[in-house]
Structure 1
Amino acid sequence: MKVTTRWLALALSAGLSASGQAAVVISEYVEGSSNNKALELLNTGPDSVNLAAWELQVYFNGSQTPGLTVNLEGDIAPGANFVFAHASAIPAILAVADQTTTSGLFNGDDAITLLNGGAVHDSIGQIGIDPGSYWGSGDIRTQNATLRRRDGAAADTNPFDSYDPSQVFDGFPQDNIDDLGAANDGGDGSQPPAGPDMSCGADATPINAIQGSGDASPLVGQTVVVEAVVSRVSNGNGELGGFFLEARLEDRDNDPRTSEGLFVYAPSTSASPGQLLRIAAEVTEFGGLTELAPVSDIADCGSADLPPAMAVTLPWTSADAAEAFEGMRVQFPQALVVNDNYDLGRYGSLTLGSARAFIPTQVVSPGSDAALLAEMNALDRLILDDGSNRQNPATIPYPTPELSASQTVRAGDTVSQLQGVLDYRYGEWRLQPTAAPVFQPNNLRTPAPELSDRGNLVVASFNVLNFFNGDGLGGNFPTARGAHTAEELARQTDKLVSAMQALDADIIGLMEIENDGYSEISAIAELASALGDDWAFVDPGLSQLGSDAITVGLIYRADRVAVVGDAATLSTSPFDTLNRQPLAQTFRRLDSSDGVTVVVNHFKSKGCNNAEGDNADQGDGQGCWNPVRTHAASALASWLANDATGTGESDVLVIGDLNSYTQEAPIRTLEDSGYNNLVASLLGDQAYTYVFYGQAGSLDHALANQPLTQKVVAAAVWSINADEPRALDYNMEFKSSEQQASLYAADPYRASDHDPVLVALTMDTSTLAERADLNGDGRIDGRDVARFILAYLFGQADDVSYDIDANGRVDLDDLEALFQARRPV
């Protein structure tokens, strides 16, 4: 509690407010979870201060210029506080706030100044210096903590000198706001009103009456007294800042629509499960969660038995079905499937469902069918949380006891024995566990892709997730994308090389590789070199391919295949902007004259930046920029139909990240142009290469035209990336030194965020003489010539067997080839 009279006496004795000069200082600093950010100012002088000439400035991330300037408004009476806060802070902060802002406020590494008429009166941090994450140490630091100025501590009017908050402030846990705005209370000589009856066993408001039968409490803003049992406590450093209560059996109303559980936001209150507490507090709605905050009084009423946890199942029967269990302990008799682990390393959470969820337009048509499936997916979704607000936890809790490179939890694995409190935060229903869940690895890693038949030529497609190599000489980091340091690049390279070697492909199409040309220090040259001496890359003879930061590329085993003719690209609309330029090259096996043209692509993403008109999200499930991608598919098909590489090769394989799911217009356009979607046709429409928001689908495709389709013997998706937690990638930021080691392995798993696609082909390796024996009698003679001429004259020569020179066409050149093959006989 602030002792304002002592503050004033010390301030006056120090000359801080002599002659009535204003002496306003930063008396409290709240760097809480989410948007719980606030600054408290204290008027230490004898006169009221008008804030018209006062302002706050925030210098973000070591900047020397302010990124935020706020003109303060209002007056501060002598010895009173003024609280400035974020407009999206919790109700307990907003209840004492005098002024708010919707702009992003400070983090622990941002400097703050308080100015009057341009002169600095107080400051926190050091302008122009980025301390990393915070200034200070231990409990007295500027990150995830509350700081309160010690009585008599002088203002810091030099924001450029070195800074140590412990010289001025005492530290308190994150989200501790018990004292915020306290000097504003009382002071008028009036008697406080009589408090609520805190006698244990006296009348109290039932929890079900507070929760009500809707999605918000009917008692919001009212002060109530609740007497109930503590079911789960989450009051440690970085945790939820309170505890959950449940009604005793005798206090329940047996109405299946109303919940009997409730969260109490009380960061500094100690509690334990089974404790019977009587609490006086205000009913608030915080981001959709009904809670009690702030707490005005609390009494310990002993202990009581908790009723059994409620049995619930997924999917929910309706969008509001979970409301009936908000804040209550629940248990799932079913095993749930892990659908997403994207936030596991960052927030300690997993997305679960009753079954694997798929992107609607992966499996059904865009429009009403996709909308219906999206609604069904939303009902079959639950976040398994870790009971905290911590970011980048030192111990990532799942799978039990913690995540590591060798102990992973993959999408498709199952979780059983789930029990905990059903909570609602950040727009999601969450389970805050009360017991360790049990993980079953049902989606096992495989050491190599599983192709049923490898044929004699394997082509792969691989999005390499921003492979940028700096200046190619081990410097110029951080890069525009990808690795931030040379060490990160080495880690990224090792994972990609491990994955690509295990593919054992002859040709690999690349997406998201740095668009820095084709010199010996380019990114594609470095990747090919890292794979070994047998690897080469396609150089289209350009300084770079298009103007985007990333591009597509082709690498191949020069000891197995050779390029035929020159590479080709398409730079006209719709490949001049948005869609990356395609790259086409014809290849053949070294022991064969039978070729294939491989075209690698990367269409415009679904992100909605600057999307307008038809390119905006139409609500049909296809996302933004769908017409741009569809135009690309149509233009690509037309280009390829006219012998794009000029080699006369009729076999064409389209691969790459098309940023379109299987049922969407761009893929349908290619199919309507005669291309066979190999992943969907051979593996089914539930084959996937990417996971987004807990839903799986194929953004990466391989499509063969009709002449090539008959040579396709197998296709596969190697699930090494999309199902793995992103915490296992090469990146080192937001990880402790221990995690940088324990979460990383130079293996294929999480080498990227997209899974590679493989296609196995059986190319013709027969000799010219073997192809010229049309009747199969072991001799090349006049009968073979007659067979060809008759077939040609009567229109049957479109059979592949008559394409003797294997150039993709059946014509008189084949008759000449027949005579050439016959000559030695």
Structure 2
Amino acid sequence: MDNVKRLSVLALSIAAALPAVANADVLISEYVEGSAFSCVGETITPIYKVQGAGDSSPLVPTGEFVSAETVTIKGIVTARGDSLQKGFYLQEAQGDGSPYTSDGVFVYLGEKAAEGIQAGVAVCVKGLVQERYNQTQIAGDAANIEIGEQGEKLAATPFYVADGENLAQALERYEGMHIVLDAGSDMRITRNFSFDYSSYRNNMVLSHIAPLMKPTQVYAPLSDEAVAQQKANRSNELYIESDYKANNGEVPYFPDFNAETGYMRVGDQLTNIAGVVGYSYSNYRLVVTNEITAGDLIRENDRTAVPAIATQGDIRVASFNVLNFFNDMVGGDDTPNGNRGASTEAEMLLQRAKLVSAITAMNADIVGLMEIANNGFGEMSAIQNLLDAINAELSAEEAYSFIEISDEDKYQGKFIGSDAITVGILYRAATVAPDSSAFVIKTPEQHAEEGVATRGEDEASPEYNKYQRHSLGQTFSIHDDKLTIVVSHLKSKGSECLEDWIEFAEDEDPADLQGHCNEFRVSAAKVIGEAISDIEGDLLVIGDMNAYGMEDPIAVLTDYDASTANREIVTASWTTLDGVIYEREGSKIDKGYGLINLNTQAHGPATFGYSYSGELGNLDHALGNASVAKRMVAIEDWHINAVESNLFEYGSKYTGDLEKSENVFSSSDHDPVIIALEYPAPVTPEPAPKDDGGSLGYLGLAMLSLLGLRRRTR
């Protein structure tokens, strides 16, 4: 008998000696290809024994990361891992039937598996059990793997979250298994397909039952409720992955992804998507094994082409962050600090078309703008460019004008402050009229020289020079009433201020979850509050405050009261105002300035118009005084941006050949806020009947005569 025949007989005898494995009645040993490993004589450890019922394998000693002894497991391959994690997923066909233990596990190789290891193939592998970055794995290598024949693929197991457990606990029960999300799984998109900095690739995040809310949108910072919400959010995230990085502009498991019909929105329920449950970069990840269509998305809050309140009230006021609208690419005037917007003419024209579609659909009489290029008010300014494009779509009666500040308020005779972007106001002259001149509220700057503060063991602070945009105010006449609009855009949460450095939070989100430069935004809120305190008539402060609904800057402008609050609110130190020292040390806020958060009043705190890192909340606000609050008919966050994919925005750098649309969706990254107000026209009295001196007239007298009645005369 030659060697080949001997090996074939040996392979068949090995297969006969092994317990039956579904989809692989004959397990052909790698001896056929020269491997020295065989499962013959090995003690098979069930995968569910490897996984156990806890967060880590019971075979890995407490405090260790690797088991003391090797184990031999066998099962059916459900997926390969060739990029995100290199190895393959192995699952038992039957398992133990217990919902508390997983029947699957990832076999980590650190390199691509042999070509014979494909979904549906029976495999036996020997290796140590390891907890690698909190994922239970088998540390395998090619010398200890036996590959069987191709059989039928295992059906994916429907996933569910049991009563009394959170999503993370449920996913741990399925770790390493091939699952499918069906309608009963109730998994919703909480972060749309976009860039994930932890894994440095595009992916999507799902949550159970509902999208995640930013804790400080609904609860006071550092409150027990906010802390609990933060913990709950981190336990309610499932990252949806592809094994290989997606190409620019593509969702690898959704080939029909497009701007008009193949879109995905935050809040959509995702069904019929299958994958293997892994864990990496500190998160549970579903590595998708199939493709979905638009029909697999259950939409409870679908797109609307116009706001629900577009025709409500007598007038409407809107607040809209226009995502760095610059007109440099068509010869626009220069800004103080360069272009932050479109990098090509095609991008700029697409951005403008989308903004025009959105603004005209709002049908607002006053529109506050944020993030428009700060290049003045001339013919080549960004605000004039946008205005011309809007008015080209409207009748003369519907047309807008913009507010220009006086020359003495202009920085260097041209700008509103020194930032590259600014705020602006559009208005319809047919319905509202500017009353007196516009005004600018200058906001504080932080200038802290190196070494003004220390931390730890006398570590000296670096130099800080921080700025924020000025606010723009304008009073309008509406019939016989006055409405003052103040448009604001406070400092972003991105780069840190001195107070963050002092708290060792310059490179991470501060513990209170309010982002960087919170005290600096409080300083701006204090200045704005003082500036508006003497305004008479109706008042609306609108704009991108870069602060969620329950955060300090909003509390300062609304109902904060230090005597009853559970936390202290302070301003930033080392601030100046209009070139003069404002506060060397941060000061405590005693009481807020009494405005009303109109969104909260109408809908409660769980409103949103912005999405960041998978959490929803409101950065854009409408704060009104008591008199304007009485006039409010309705308020709406028009969800055309926050819940949409940013791949549909005007920028083309990371979107490849993805076709864009001029529709309103993804016209910015912030939803517009629209407020409908009652300003009824004065009632003109009807003319009184013509009086001829009190006489009934000839006909009237005749009638009285016929009735036997005569007017008494003197």
> Deviation digits for residues 399-455 of structure 1, max 9, x if unmatched?
574344332111111123454321112222122234555211222111101118622
CA contact (8 A) 1:419 1:433 kept: yes
Q: 1:491 aligns with which of 346, 350, 355?
A: 350
Q: 1:247 aligns with which of 79, 84, 92?
A: 92
Structure 1 distance, partners of 2:348, 2:155, is 54
> Deviation digits for residues 528-556 of structure 1, max 9, x if unmatched?
12111632221113121122222111122
**Where do 1:157-168 residues align within 5 Å?**
none
1:360 equivalent to 2:235? Answer: no
Q: 1:202 aligns with which of 21, 36, 42?
A: 42
**Where do 1:16-415 residues align within 5 Å?**
197-200=37-40, 202-204=42-44, 206-208=46-48, 210-211=50-51, 213-215=54-56, 217-218=60-61, 220=66, 224=70, 226-234=72-80, 240-247=85-92, 249=94, 256=100, 260-265=104-109, 266-270=111-115, 271-280=117-126, 286-292=132-138, 295-297=141-143, 298-302=145-149, 306=154, 309=157, 311-313=159-161, 316-317=165-166, 322-332=171-181, 333-343=184-194, 347-367=202-222, 368-385=224-241, 387-392=242-247, 395-397=250-252, 401-415=256-270
Structure 2 distance, partners of 1:328, 1:619, is 36
AA of the residue aligned to 2:434: V
Structure 1 distance, partners of 2:495, 2:305, is 37
What secondary structure is seen at the aligned counterpart in 2 of 1:349? Answer: strand
Structure 2 distance, partners of 1:569, 1:474, is 24
Structure 1 distance, partners of 2:274, 2:472, is 52
1:759 equivalent to 2:688? Answer: no
Structure 2 distance, partners of 1:464, 1:316, is 41
With normalisation by structure 2, the TM-score equals 0.71
With normalisation by structure 1, the TM-score equals 0.62
- 2:634 is aligned to 714
Q: 1:653 aligns with which of 540, 548, 557?
A: 540
Number of matched pairs: 566
AA of the residue aligned to 1:746: E
What secondary structure is seen at the aligned counterpart in 2 of 1:747? Answer: coil
- 2:4 is aligned to none
Structure 1 distance, partners of 2:160, 2:193, is 25
Q: 1:668 aligns with which of 552, 555, 572?
A: 555
1:596 equivalent to 2:455? Answer: no
Q: How far off is 1:246 after superposition?
A: 1.5
AA of the residue aligned to 1:309: T
AA of the residue aligned to 1:731: G
AA of the residue aligned to 1:269: A
Q: How far off is 1:614 after superposition?
A: 6.9
C-alpha distance 330-471 of structure 1, shift in aligned 2 (>3 A)? closer
CA contact (8 A) 1:463 1:752 kept: yes
1:691 equivalent to 2:547? Answer: no
1:682 equivalent to 2:602? Answer: yes
1:571 equivalent to 2:445? Answer: no
AA of the residue aligned to 1:343: S
Q: 2:313 aligns with which of 433, 455, 472?
A: 455
> Deviation digits for residues 364-387 of structure 1, max 9, x if unmatched?
2222210101112222221232x3
- 1:25 is aligned to none
AA of the residue aligned to 1:586: T
Q: How far off is 1:320 after superposition?
A: 5.4
- 2:374 is aligned to 515
CA contact (8 A) 1:458 1:759 kept: yes
Structure 2 distance, partners of 1:310, 1:746, is 39
**Where do 1:546-565 residues align within 5 Å?**
546-565=417-436
Structure 1 distance, partners of 2:688, 2:494, is 61
CA contact (8 A) 1:316 1:379 kept: no
C-alpha distance 595-201 of structure 1, shift in aligned 2 (>3 A)? farther
- 2:472 is aligned to 583
Q: 2:331 aligns with which of 473, 476, 485?
A: 473
C-alpha distance 239-665 of structure 1, shift in aligned 2 (>3 A)? closer
Q: How far off is 1:466 after superposition?
A: 1.1
C-alpha distance 693-618 of structure 1, shift in aligned 2 (>3 A)? closer
AA of the residue aligned to 2:87: G
Q: How far off is 1:286 after superposition?
A: 4.7
Q: How far off is 1:655 after superposition?
A: 0.3
Q: How far off is 1:459 after superposition?
A: 0.9
C-alpha distance 414-256 of structure 1, shift in aligned 2 (>3 A)? closer
CA contact (8 A) 2:644 2:665 kept: yes
What secondary structure is seen at the aligned counterpart in 2 of 1:341? Answer: strand
Q: How far off is 1:574 after superposition?
A: 5.8
**Where do 1:758-797 residues align within 5 Å?**
758-763=674-679, 765-766=681-682
Structure 1 distance, partners of 2:524, 2:138, is 55
Q: How far off is 1:675 after superposition?
A: 1.3
Q: Which runs of 5+ in 2 are unaligned?
A: 1-34, 393-398, 448-465, 560-592, 690-714
Q: How far off is 1:654 after superposition?
A: 0.5
Which range moves more in the overlay, 258-267 or 408-417?
258-267
Q: How far off is 1:561 after superposition?
A: 2.7
Q: How far off is 1:651 after superposition?
A: 1.5
Structure 2 distance, partners of 1:615, 1:557, is 49
AA of the residue aligned to 2:602: L
Which range moves more in the overlay, 696-705 or 392-401?
392-401
- 2:28 is aligned to none
What secondary structure is seen at the aligned counterpart in 1 of 2:437? Answer: strand
CA contact (8 A) 2:92 2:103 kept: no
Structure 2 distance, partners of 1:725, 1:240, is 26
CA contact (8 A) 1:399 1:439 kept: no
Q: How far off is 1:200 after superposition?
A: 4.5
AA of the residue aligned to 1:261: V
- 1:822 is aligned to none
What secondary structure is seen at the aligned counterpart in 2 of 1:566? Answer: coil
AA of the residue aligned to 1:752: S
Which has the higher relative contact order, 1 or 2, with Cα contacts under 8 A spaced 6 or more apart? 2
CA contact (8 A) 2:259 2:661 kept: no
- 2:650 is aligned to 730
- 1:423 is aligned to 278
CA contact (8 A) 2:443 2:469 kept: no
Q: Which runs of 5+ in 1 are unaligned?
A: 1-194, 644-648, 779-825
C-alpha distance 323-516 of structure 1, shift in aligned 2 (>3 A)? same
What secondary structure is seen at the aligned counterpart in 1 of 2:388? Answer: helix
What secondary structure is seen at the aligned counterpart in 2 of 1:565? Answer: coil
What secondary structure is seen at the aligned counterpart in 1 of 2:312? Answer: coil
Structure 1 distance, partners of 2:390, 2:680, is 28
C-alpha distance 572-504 of structure 1, shift in aligned 2 (>3 A)? closer
Identity score, percent: 31
AA of the residue aligned to 1:606: K
Q: How far off is 1:700 after superposition?
A: 0.7
C-alpha distance 328-516 of structure 1, shift in aligned 2 (>3 A)? same
AA of the residue aligned to 2:668: S
